Homo-oligomer: A and B are copies of this chain.
Amino acid sequence: MKVVSSIIQMRKITRTLAADRKKIGLVPTMGFLHEGHLSLIRRAVRFSDIVIVSIFVNPAQFAPDEDFEAYPRDEKNDINKIKSTGGDIVFIPKVSDIYPDNFQTYVDVEIIAKSLEGKSRPLHFRGVTTIVAKLFNITRPDIAVFGLKDYQQAIVIRQMTRDLGLPIKIIIAPTVREKDGLAMSSRNCYFNPEQRKEAVCLYESLRIAKRAVKDEKIIDSAVLKGRMIKLIQSICPTAEIDYIAFTDFESIIPVKKVNKNTICSLAVKIHGVRLIDNMKMTGRGQLL
Q: Which residues of A contact B (CB under 8 A)?
A: 7, 11, 15, 18-19, 21, 98, 100, 102-112, 129-130, 133-135, 137-138, 159-160, 162-167
Selected from B11, B108, B159, the residue in CB contact (under 8 A) with A167 is B11
In the complex, how many angstroms separate the beta carbon of A134 from the nearest chain B beta carbon?
4
A132 to B167, CA, bound (A): 16
Selected from B18, B107, B111, B165, the residue in CB contact (under 8 A) with A19 is B18
Q: Are A165 and B108 in touch, CB under 8 angstroms?
A: no
Selected from B107, B110, B111, B112, the residue in CB contact (under 8 A) with A164 is B107
A258 to B105, CA, bound (A): 28
**Which B residues lie within 8 Å of A164 (CB)?**
105, 107, 130, 133-134, 137
A166 to B7, CA, bound (A): 11
Q: Are A112 and B108 in touch, CB under 8 angstroms?
A: no
A137 to B137, CA, bound (A): 9
Beta-carbon nearest neighbor of A114 in chain B? B104
Given contacts A19-B18, A19-B19, A19-B21, contact A104 B159 (CB under 8 A): yes
Known: A19-B21, A107-B108, A137-B165. 11 other contacts (CB 8 A): A11-B167, A15-B167, A104-B111, A105-B110, A105-B129, A106-B108, A107-B107, A130-B164, A133-B164, A134-B163, A137-B166
A55 to B111, CA, bound (A): 29
Beta-carbon nearest neighbor of A20 in chain B? B19
- Would you mind naming 25 contact pairs between A and B with Cβ atoms under 8 Å apart? A18-B18, A19-B19, A98-B165, A100-B162, A102-B159, A103-B163, A104-B109, A104-B111, A104-B159, A104-B163, A105-B109, A105-B129, A105-B159, A105-B160, A105-B163, A106-B108, A106-B110, A107-B107, A107-B108, A107-B164, A130-B164, A134-B165, A137-B164, A137-B166, A138-B165
